[in-house]
Structure 1
Amino acid sequence: MEANDTPSPTALLAAAARAAHALVDAPPLLLEDPAARALCTTGDASPLDFQLAQPGVPVLAAARVSACARARHADDVLVARRARQVVVLGAGLDTTTHRRPAPGRRFWLVDLPDVLTWRARLLARAGLPEAGVPVPADLGGAGWFDALVDAGLDPHVPVVAVWLGVGMYLEPDACRALLASVAALPAGSTLVLDHVLPADERDAAGAAYAAAVAAFAGRHGEPWRTAASAATVRDWLTDTGWAVADERDEADAVPPGFWDAQPHLRPMRLVRLVTATLTAPA
């Protein structure tokens, strides 16, 4: 894939990490993602090639942990909530639609227009259907919720909104504003999000991975802008009408025995996973 054919290199890295996990890591696996593998093999060069060739390189192994732990967590929430309406905020190359289809479940995929065009192009090359409704919108601006309703979302039926791997690219005020906007969803809705911890709350492995990935993202036009403590994010959620139902380090969102079985993967403290519910109309 040429650089100018890739408006979100970080989305491609995450897809490659999810695709590689079942190919290079040991069971128990966090997930299997053949759709991500298909997306990553549509061009002449892909970060999946590096994952398969050097699975033990720390930054590549850490990418698999991060991408797969958060995706597994969101999948588990969708199943537990028996979600009928799912909104993926900052969809990129998210493949939840392919991993977790269910009768009566509909997906809406919100992202910038050029990212959704790129996504559609890769899906077509891979021979994969688009199982969700694309909603071109800027999450940092206004109007994206109205665009969702215009695209067929029922504003009276609870939603599971998935906002993963995106918040670090927005300014703190924009993160808080987005949480307030999502609170326009109906009572009973659920939000799954992640956030990068500030430097003084990371361990050595998390700090090393953050330094490498933030540098890569910044060079490719996607700089990290927000790192927030658990207390800060909890305050943002509470202030905008959300109740925190669950929060944990990403490294804790794995099945029993996972770390002991892995030849390459190691826990790190960098990302928190949060599940919040909307108990009253905003």
Structure 2
Amino acid sequence: MESGQASKTAYSAARYRAAHQVLEQGSIFRDPLALRLLGADAEDLEQDAPRRGMRLFIAARHRFAEDRLAAAVSRGVRTAVVLGAGLDTFAYRNPHASLQVIEIDHPDTQAWKRERLARAGVAIPPDVRHLGVDFEKESLGDRLDLDGPAFFLWLGVVPYLSDGGFGETLRFVAREPGNEVVFDYAQSPERMPAERRAALEARAARVAKLGEPWLTFFEPEEIAADLDKLGFGEIEDLGPAQLAARFFNRPDIPPETPGGHVLHARRR
């Protein structure tokens, strides 16, 4: 993202979440604050109907992440860290009384979010903390102190990070046994069939024009090996086929279909 400006892709993700509430009635992921936070921009969400694939992927990744977080809370985790929070609303509808939430994002995006929260009349709960960090220029380890295992929600961020920025943040998450993380990642366009590759490359070109290019791609076997080296176990990696079967009642997608993935891992 450009210095001095809020993340434009954070806005796009929020719009997809809001559109899911309207176009699919939140059938996969319920977010009662999505429309309020989008404000007047929500009036024309019907025109987003053609972007169904990305919209449902974003809904599924949030559903998966918050399901895994609920399970972690039941095991005793008491802190959730939202990395690259953007306009994510979890902290403001947190159903877990025992859970504190720390939102981390670029200071410019955080200021923009606070303005939208105020405009929407959404109060900031007392158990929510905001921390401004530029992941490419600052070390998360120098800014964040945690007491005990935490759950990291890291959605819609990894493709925009350099290898170095991704690796440093993942190593921080791996410091504490019992830490858990959910993040999404993209496979290389080179692995896609021609039609899907063209669509992916077109989307990559659009976000690059916004100043937020995709920088990092992974293959499932690569990310699994990296996580194992850092001490993560219990890895659950859902690609297009697994997401379709679990959330969309589509068991017919070939298992090795390339595309966007959502992954949960727990530090041993």
Per the normalisation by structure 1, the TM-score is 0.82
Q: Which residue does 1:145 correspond to in 2?
A: 141
Count of residues paired in the alignment: 256
2:192 equivalent among 189, 193, 202: 202
1:239 and 2:229 aligned: yes
List aligned pairs for 1:14-53, cutoff 5 A.
14-25=13-24, 29-41=27-39, 43=40, 46=41, 48-53=42-47
Distance 2:19 2:202 in 1: 19
List aligned pairs for 1:111-260, cutoff 5 A.
111-131=105-125, 132-149=128-145, 153-154=146-147, 157-184=148-175, 186-203=176-193, 206-250=196-240, 252-253=242-243, 258-259=248-249
Q: Deviations over 1:81-132 (max 9, x none)?
A: 1142100111111112234331111110111111111111111111112342
Q: Which residue does 1:270 correspond to in 2?
A: 259
Q: Relative to structure 1, is the Cα distance of residues 50 and 168 closer, same or farther in structure 2, using a 3 angstrom cutoff?
A: farther
Where structure 2 has 5 or more consecutive residues not aligned to the other structure, the ranges are 251-256
- The answer to whether the 8 A contact 2:34-2:89 is kept is yes
Secondary structure of the residue aligned to 1:226 is: coil
State the Cα distance separating 1:215 from its structure 2 match. 1.7
State the Cα distance separating 1:49 from its structure 2 match. 4.7
Distance 1:38 1:161 in 2: 25
Distance 1:79 1:12 in 2: 26
Worse overlay, 207-216 or 240-249:
207-216
Distance 2:38 2:133 in 1: 24
State the Cα distance separating 1:4 from its structure 2 match. 11
- The answer to whether the 8 A contact 1:176-1:236 is kept is no
1:100 equivalent among 85, 94, 101: 94
- The answer to whether the 8 A contact 1:112-1:138 is kept is yes
Q: Relative to structure 1, is the Cα distance of residues 120 and 90 closer, same or farther in structure 2, using a 3 angstrom cutoff?
A: same
Distance 2:10 2:60 in 1: 15
Secondary structure of the residue aligned to 1:109 is: strand
- The answer to whether the 8 A contact 1:74-1:162 is kept is yes
Identity between Structure 1 and Structure 2 (%):
29
Distance 2:4 2:166 in 1: 28
Distance 2:218 2:243 in 1: 19
State the Cα distance separating 1:212 from its structure 2 match. 3.3
Q: Deviations over 1:17-42 (max 9, x none)?
A: 11111211267x1112121211111x
Distance 2:195 2:44 in 1: 20
More relative contact order, 1 or 2 (CA 8 Å, 6+ apart): 1
Over the residues paired in the alignment, what is the CA RMSD in angstroms? 2.5
Q: Which residue does 2:254 correspond to in 1?
A: none
- The answer to whether the 8 A contact 1:164-1:193 is kept is yes
Q: Relative to structure 1, is the Cα distance of residues 254 and 84 closer, same or farther in structure 2, using a 3 angstrom cutoff?
A: farther
Per the normalisation by structure 2, the TM-score is 0.86
